[in-house]
Each structure stands twice: as C-alpha cells, then as structure tokens.
Amino acid sequence: MLAQWIWGARRSFIDVSFCGAVHVDSVHADIVVVGGGIIGSCVAFYLAKSGADVVVLDPEPGQGSSAGNAGMLVPSQSVPFASPATVAAWVAALASRDSTISFRRPVPLSLVPWFARMAIEARPGRARRATRNLFELAGKSLHLYQEMVDNEGIDLHLRPVGSLRVFRSVVALERQRRALDELAGCGAEFEMLGPRKLREIEPALRTGLAGAIKFPHDRSLDPARATRAIADAARARGAQFRAERVVGFQRAGGRVVMVRTDRGCLSADEFVVAAGAASAQVGKLLGARLPVRAGYGLSVTYPTGSPLLRSSVMLEEEHVVINSRESWVRLTTGMEFGGTAHDRPGAGAVRRLDAVTRAYVPTLPAHDTAQPPWRGARPMTPSGTPCIGRIAANVIAATGHGTLGMTLGPVTGHLVSSLVAG
C-alpha cells in the first residue's frame, strides 16, 4: 500500500500506513528516549536541562531493573564482569548450581556466541583497560549525583557510608586484597580491617569473621526513589514521560524519522535507546545489533526501624549485597542467564539468600516480614562495559550498564547530552 503522507504538528511528515489504524499522534520532539529507568531518566534530565524538548517512552517507567536493585554507588566494583575470574566462574556454573553465575536450563543456544565474545573481552589487557575506564566514569558519576543534590535540589538521600567487603576466610580476604592492585593503580582508596576493627564498625555482624576491606568513598541510595526523583526533576525541566511501549521505527533518507508505539506515532530529530535489558530487542526494531543480554538477579527487602548496618556490606564468598536504609534492609544476589522477564524468583534461591545472610547478620528481621521477592534484569554486555554512543546517524545507545547501572546513571546522561550537543 502506498504511504500516505500528512504534515505533523511541527515540522515532520507522518506516514499514516506506518502508524496503522491507531490514531495519528502528530507530536514532534527534539529527542525521544526509549526507556525510563535510571539511565533514561538521567538522559532526560540532562537533555531537558540543556533546553531540549524531550519525550521519554516507557510503559512502566522506573519499574525495570532500576526498581529493586541494591542501590550501591560503587566505583570500587569497577572490575568488569568480563574478567578472567568471571570466565572461571561461568565455567564452574555450568557444572554447579552454587555459583555466582547460574543458567536457567535449558541454556539458550543464543548465549553461546555471547559468552564466546565475553571470553575474548576477558583477556587481562582488555579487562585492565575496562577497569580504568569504569573507575573513571563511576567517579565522575558520583560527583554528578552530588551536584544533583547540591546544585539542582534533587532529594536523593545519598548515604555516604562507604562499603565493606566482608570475608569469613582469611585466604579469600588475602586473595581479594591482591586482586585489588589494579583498582589501587586507578586511585581507589581502601582500608584492610581485621576482625576486631570490623566488629567495632559493624557490631551487627557475627563474631568470628576473618575481616573486611573498606571502601570509604562508595555510597548508597534507594534506587526506586532516586530514579523517581531524577525523572521528576527531568519533568520539572520540561521532559514528558509517556506510558507507551515502542513497537517500531520508520526510516527515511538514512535517518530514523519516527517511532511507533502501542498508542500512536511520534517524530523526532534524535532517538536514544535506553531500554535496559530489552535494548537488544529495541535495537532490532532499528536494524541495529546491540550485544545486551539479561543477567537476572533477585532482591528481598525487610522493613526495619533504623539502619541494621552502618555501611553497605558485601558478603564476598556468598555473593550477597546488603543495603541498609533508614526503614528497610535489602539483600540482593544472583546472576542468572536464560529464562524470561516474567519468571518469578525461585523459592529456593530466596530461602538460601535469607539463610546465608542470617548466618552473618543474626538480627536480620524475621523472614515472614519480608516484602515479596523481586527479580530484575541487568543489561549485560560481553565486555562488561556499557554501550554509549551513536549506532545510527541520529540514534544513540545508552545501555548495557550491567552490574553498575545505578552507579553510572548520571555520567551516562551527561555523556548523551554532550553527544547530542555535538
């Protein structure tokens, strides 16, 4: 059928056949952002602040991976997922269920080339370069978070308490200390704590632990609340959030000119893909291959009357992260490949998370007070570094933040805004 062209509200053409029977919404924006998680919200914030007319499309903004994660802002975790240690862990994962990484069986075949690429990216030279880049980006991002609070009045409730990597075995503690040379070379500061010092700092942890490594400059926040606050700040600067799912794009003259949603069409000058773990699917609609796969994790949140722990704590040998806030404490764990976004967290995994944590923190609130467990998809890339850059003449990717999306949100928004500004 021949396309029938009509004028849009401002300066664009709208192809009615592309929009189908849905109503032709003649809205034009300077920039359309697909995805309203922490990344899309930060992108919208910096673009709106620079004066751009921004529309964010997301059927459920803030309800993806940015909702129930651990909320740690951690330059100290800049060693990328693609590292020699991770390759060893995923090989072990194929044989055992008790590993950092797990696979929902049957393992999808499409993951094989992705993991092959990860093995290449995990070579020590590349992993070292990636660590330096991530550390620098994370440091800048923490600075931008602070600027959001100090200069823009955004209420982020940053908790400047540092983080502790806690160990029960002296051997594991020593091994980890040696592995930190690379981070130290990037400028990361940390302090070794023996068992007595650890008890002084964190009396809620059980006795008999080997010690901990303290990273004084890490921070934490409430991820859902912070994402909402940044989205609200973007709205206050003129960004529009529309509860619409992107289902297609239209190209003309080598550029993307329009996006189709489940409710209508929008034309724009620039498009940003910030759809988290769904970015590969959105990229496909654009004819672009984004190497993003979902790495699922789970969290359980318990109400508390006051912070259970003073710092954010990582139980290194158990792969558990504990974020203590004023009125809740959240445990997170897991990196599962395979399955779908609709799968529920496994009951066994939730029980194990509770039991393992309770063995370190005996005063953890009663199990039956916990909120329903949450499962979220980290947008993983084989290199362990995000994809931020142009993937077509007027399309920018801002995705693939993996285990560090909360940490890297502001710096990503800032970078995208600079890219748009040329």
Ligand X SMILES: Cc1cc2nc3c(=O)[nH]c(=O)nc-3n(C[C@H](O)[C@H](O)[C@H](O)COP(=O)(O)OP(=O)(O)OC[C@H]3O[C@@H](n4cnc5c(N)ncnc54)[C@H](O)[C@@H]3O)c2cc1C
Instruction: Decide if residue 165 touches ligand X (CB under 6 A).
Output: no
Note the maximum CA span of the chain: 77
Residues in a beta bridge with 241: 56
CA distance 107 to 69: 24
Q: Strands 320-324 and 328-337: what pairing?
A: antiparallel
Q: What minimum distance in Å lies between the beta carbon of 10 and ligand X? A: 22
Q: Is 411 within 8 Å of 141 (Cβ atoms)?
A: yes
Please answer whether residues 378 and 80 qualify as being in contact, where contact means their C-beta atoms are separated by less than 8 angstroms. Answer: no
Phi, psi angle pair for 68, to nearest 5°: -115, 20
Stretch that binds ligand X, among 122-130, 210-218, 230-238, 295-303 (CB under 6 A): 295-303
Residues forming beta bridges with residue 166, ordered by sequence position:
212, 315
Shortest Cβ 194–ligand X spacing (Å)? 26
Question: Could you tell me which stretch among 24-32, 91-99, 273-281, 358-366 binds ligand X (CB under 6 A)?
Answer: 273-281
Q: What is the DSSP letter of 203?
A: T
Give the C-alpha separation, 20 to 54, whole Å: 24
* Token code pair at residue 25: 């919404």
Measured from the CB of residue 5, what is the shortest distance to ligand X in angstroms? 25
Residue 70 interacts with ligand X (CB under 6 A): yes or no: yes
Q: To 10 degrees, the CA torsion angle through 62, 68, 72, 78?
A: -80
Q: At residue 269, what is the residue type?
A: D
Using rule CB under 6 A, residue 297 touches ligand X:
yes
DSSP string covering 313-369: EEEGGGTEEEEE-SSEEEEEEEEEESS-TTPPPPHHHHHHHHHHHHHH-TTPPPGGG
403 binds ligand X (CB under 6 A): yes
- Residue 115 or 241 with smaller CB distance to ligand X: 241
Q: Which tokens go with 327?
A: 């009125």
Q: Does 219 engage in binding with ligand X (CB under 6 A)? A: no
328-337/102-103 β-pairing: parallel
Residue 404 within binding range of ligand X, rule CB under 6 A: yes
Cα gap 380→391, rounded to integer Å? 18
Does residue number 246 form part of the binding site for ligand X (CB under 6 A)?
yes
Which positions from 334 to 373 touch ligand X by CB under 6 A, shown as an x/- string? Answer: ----------------------------------------
Size of the site for ligand X (CB under 6 A): 44
Please report, for residues 25, 292, 348, 374, the alpha-carbon distance to residue 345 in angstroms, rounded to integers and kept in the order given: 39, 21, 9, 7
Question: Least distance (Å) from ligand X to the CB of residue 126?
Answer: 21
**Residue list 23-42, contact with ligand X (CB under 6 A):** 34-40
Q: Shortest Cβ distance from residue 71 to ligand X (Å)?
A: 6
Task: Choose between 31 and 210: whose C-beta lies nearer to ligand X.
Answer: 31
How far apart CA 258 and CA 239 sit, in angstroms, is 18
Residue from 275, 292, 314, 331 in contact with ligand X (CB under 6 A)? 275
Q: Which residue is nearest to ligand X (CB)?
A: 405
Contact between 264 and ligand X per CB under 6 A: no
Query: Can residue 332 be called a binding residue for ligand X (CB under 6 A)?
Result: yes
Which residue's CB is nearer to ligand X, number 279 or number 304?
279
- Ramachandran area for residue 393 (φ above 0: left; ψ -120 to 50: alpha; else beta): alpha
Site for ligand X in 71-110 (CB under 6 A): 71-72, 74
Q: Which is nearer to ligand X, 107 or 243 (CB)?
A: 243
CA–CA separation, 349 vs 355, rounded Å?
10
How many other C-beta atoms lie within 10 A of the C-beta of residue 20? 12
Contact in structure between 217 and 189 (CB atoms under 8 Å) = yes
Residues of this chain, 380-399, that bind ligand X according to CB under 6 A: 399
- Verify binding: residue 183, ligand X, rule CB under 6 A: no
The smaller minimum CB distance to ligand X, of residues 257 and 353, is found at 353
Q: How far is the CB of 171 from ligand X (least distance, A)?
A: 26
Contact between 163 and ligand X by CB under 6 A: the answer reads: no
Distance in Å, CB of 52 to ligand X, minimum: 19
Least distance in Å: CB of 215 to ligand X? Answer: 13
Q: Point out which residues bind ligand X (CB under 6 A).
A: 34-40, 57-61, 63-66, 69-72, 74, 245-246, 274-278, 282, 297-299, 332, 376, 378-379, 399, 401-407
